[in-house]
Chains A and B, each alone.
Chain A
Amino acid sequence: MWRLLHVIAIGALVASAVYVYSLKYQTIYDSEQIVKTRHLIAREHDAINMLRAEYAFLTRPDRLQALADKQLDMQPLSLHQIVKASDLPEPVAKIDSIGRKLESLGLGGPTATPNAGVTGATPSTR
């Protein structure tokens, strides 16, 4: 009885030791991974910062102005180019040009749809 208990106790001891050590090594590994990831994040941050600075440098107003003057044919906005919404002309009524065409051809009337009872694909009556 006692012997069995001893064996169990020793077994539990060994198992817990193994578990604790594995836990410890896992923790060390994970913390190393965290440090590595942090370094990567810091590097990415630095890279982002660098790119932001570069973007700001490339989009600085005097550079854009020089480029726009050279490449684009733009002119400053002037007062006569601005109109209020109420100054716009009223929209013209929509024109149904196809309908008109049909009407002018005299096809405006109701069409004679072939009767379902009549056989054949072509209408029998003229």
Chain B
Amino acid sequence: MHASMVSLITKIVACARILGSPSRRVLARRSSDAPKRSFSWKISFSWSGLKTFAHDLVRTRLDKSGGRIRLLMVGLCLAYCGIAVRLVQLGVSHDPPLTLKVAADQAASGARPDLLDRNGEILATDVKTMSVFAEPRRIIDKDEAVELITAVLPDVDAKELRERLGSKKGFVWVKRQVTAKEQQEIFHLGLPGVGFFPENKRVYPNGPVGAHVIGFVDKDNIGIAGMERYLDNQSLTDPHVAGFSVDPASLKPVRLSLDLRATHALRDELAAGLTRFRAKASAGAIMDVTTGEVIAAESLPDFDPNDPGDMKDPALINRLTVGVYEMGSTFKALTLAMVLDSGKANLGSRVDARENLRYGRFTIHDLHATHRILSLPEVFTHSSNIGSARLALMVGVAGHQAFLKKAGQLDRMRTELPESAAPLIPKPWGELNTMTIAFGQGLNVAPLQAMMAVAGLLNGGNLMTPTFLIRSPAEALANSHRFVSEQTSESMRYLLRANATHGSADKANVPGYYAGGKTGTAQKNFHGHYSNDRVFTTFMAIVPADKPKYLYMTIYDDPQGLPEDGGYHYAAYNAGRVAGQLIERVEPLLGVAPAQEFPTQPFPLLARLGYGFDADKVAKE
């Protein structure tokens, strides 16, 4: 580099010489050509020297090019080095100089699309609010500013505010989302360097209704949980992509599958039951079995998304998707469907339930023991553990596992909700496991997952992943897979209906609706021992049983028996009763009026096979 600089200087000097007087070399050549030239020659000579110089300057001469190319290379290298250094400087600097507008835009919460329920009611929307910011560099007396601001905004911590104003940042928030009155008062303080910036504040007009599905956002309007988080993951809302603020008008509202009124009714009924049965927790859902849409979903205790507070509390989890539980006897529906679908038994088959079933040192017994040979429908209506275990053994461990896998019970179910949990599968899975899982103990699944399987059993045998977004039946069918036959599905509907008329699910037999149902009371497992007085109760009901549309599920965790029920805490008394009330209350909301007459031919396939009896008239042998 140094050498080339020197050569550059020498060149410039040489040029100057050529301009002033002909160079020695040229002079020598010219003088040898014409030794006796006069002064006039000298002028023209120097003119031609100039021309030669100009010519030399633009001519590529290989013997002189080396130096020039090197010079050019060095020059370019220097320029690029300069650019690189600047780039690194910009890259590593943490606090790039920002204009106020950009800084405020980046700090302010971005717009989000509205969330609507399936009927267009607002579940979540943005409203404009004002936030107070400060530019610490422009504040003259920081202590005075802190004093004045905290006088107007008493909930701002003075010490912390002083610290923030003392920082070297160009932009700090004083308080987000102030009221109009507070804004006026701050404005009248007339502090230089304190200003207002409009922000979007997310509001949930319905409070805790549907909170677990809707989720909530943080102060910067970024989705933290539920569908709000899902929206962000889908980059439907990218609040600060490269500093652009999203135009709120360009955001299309997102329609969820939830029905606000049904969800409210569900929450209301569940909450009433929660206090009545003094249960620890409760959950419930209503699903459209033809599309897999979740019409209503609630998990209690819940929270207000407007003010979520501390969400670390494990009691606040979404029990439908995050909690995994032993679902109890509702799992018998899966067991019976498996046996019927395998062809190893039919509705006319009989199962020996005369004695308790022994397996090694374990004994399986029935809650309401009948001590006789049961028909297959009776296994279901009497909720016989022995019968279910025997039926499952007919299919075997491998067949049982394969069926549950097909029914989506052994894999983590993924819906739009970011919160999910994997089922707890026993390892190793022996015959005893198959026997207990047959009646719903020993396999922990998320309740919504079990609901998905039951919905699939009832809707004609198509397993559809539940969705919280609007979906058409055709779309749902395209994304589903068949896991039991049409006939098995109809048999299951028949069994559920029979259970509502003659079995444990009589609470779901609401007049006017052709409902079917199944109870489930699972004993809770504490440190490997099943407790007799601590139970987890579930109830599933389908309305109507002949042309299935809505599947109801209610769950109570550790409900207590009521004295008027004889102190029983079984599912029929709590979850079942609430489900019955729900059907009565929600069906009209969903546009289904109670009917005076029941369908004349509810189960045509079964009728053709010779099971000509109506589920309402199953003989109680």
Contacts and interface: CB of A to CB of B under 8 A. Distances in A.
Interface in B238-286: 248-249, 260-261, 264-265, 268
Interface stretch (A5-13, A22-30, A50-58, A114-122): A50-58
B512 A79 contact: yes
Interface size class of A (residues with CB under 8 A): 10 to 19
Contacts, number: 56
Interface string A42-76: 00011001101100110011100100000000001
A82 B260 contact: no
Contacts of B265: 61
B127 A53 contact: yes
Contact of B206 (A49, A61, A76): A61
A56 B511 contact: no
A61 B596 contact: no
B205 interface: yes
B59 interface: no
B588 interface: yes
Contacts of A53: 122, 125, 127, 203, 205
A45 B249 CA distance: 9
Interface in B105-132: 121-122, 125-128
A49 B59 CA distance: 73
A84 interface: yes
A83 B594 CA distance: 10
B584 interface: yes
Contacts of B268: 62, 65
Contacts of A62: 206-207, 209, 264, 268
Contacts of B125: 49, 52-53, 56
B585 interface: yes
Interface in B574-614: 584-585, 588, 593-594, 596
B199 to A, nearest CB: 12
A76 B265 CA distance: 13
B205 A50 contact: no
A56 B206 contact: yes
Contacts of A50: 127-128
Nearest to B588: A77
Contacts of A83: 596
A81 B203 CA distance: 40
Contact of A60 (B207, B249, B512): B207
Interface in B46-70: none
A121 B249 CA distance: 81
A75 to B, nearest CB: 12
Nearest to B203: A53
Given A49-B126, A62-B264, A82-B593, A57 B205 contact: yes
Nearest to A61: B264
Most B CB within 10 A of own CB, among A49, A77, A83: A49
Given A49-B126, A76-B584, A56 B209 contact: no
A77 B248 CA distance: 43
Given A57-B205, A60-B205, A61-B209, A49 B596 contact: no
Contact of A76 (B207, B264, B511, B585): B585
A79 B588 CA distance: 11
Nearest to B261: A61
A52 B126 CA distance: 10
Contacts of B205: 53, 56-57, 60
A65 to B, nearest CB: 7
A52 B122 CA distance: 8
Contact of A49 (B128, B260, B264, B593): B128
A7 B221 CA distance: 68
Most A CB within 10 A of own CB, among B128, B205, B209, B261: B205
Contacts of B264: 60-62, 65
A50 B126 CA distance: 8
Contacts of B127: 46, 49-50, 53
Interface string B372-397: 00000000000000000000000000
Interface string B197-236: 0000001011101000000000000000000000000000
A61 B260 contact: yes
B209 A82 contact: no
B128 A84 contact: no
A65 B266 CA distance: 13
B585 A79 contact: no
Nearest to B597: A84
A79 B128 contact: no
B122 A56 contact: yes
Contacts of B596: 79, 82-84
A77 B586 CA distance: 12
Contacts of A65: 264, 268
A55 B116 CA distance: 14
Contacts of A46: 127-128
Contacts of A76: 584-585
Contacts of B594: 77, 79, 82
A100 to B, nearest CB: 39
Contacts of B207: 60, 62
A49 B127 CA distance: 6
Nearest to A84: B596
A76 B511 CA distance: 13
Nearest to B123: A56
A53 B116 CA distance: 12
A41 B405 CA distance: 56
26 contacts: A46-B128, A49-B126, A49-B128, A52-B122, A52-B125, A53-B127, A56-B121, A56-B125, A57-B205, A60-B264, A61-B206, A61-B264, A62-B206, A62-B207, A62-B209, A62-B268, A65-B264, A65-B268, A76-B584, A76-B585, A77-B588, A79-B594, A79-B596, A82-B512, A83-B596, A84-B596
Given A45-B248, A83-B596, 6 more contacts: A49-B127, A52-B122, A56-B122, A57-B205, A60-B207, A82-B596
Interface of B: 121-122, 125-128, 203, 205-207, 209, 248-249, 260-261, 264-265, 268, 511-512, 584-585, 588, 593-594, 596
Q: Which 9 A-B pairs have the closest CB atoms?
A: A61-B264, A56-B205, A57-B205, A56-B122, A79-B512, A46-B128, A60-B206, A79-B511, A79-B594
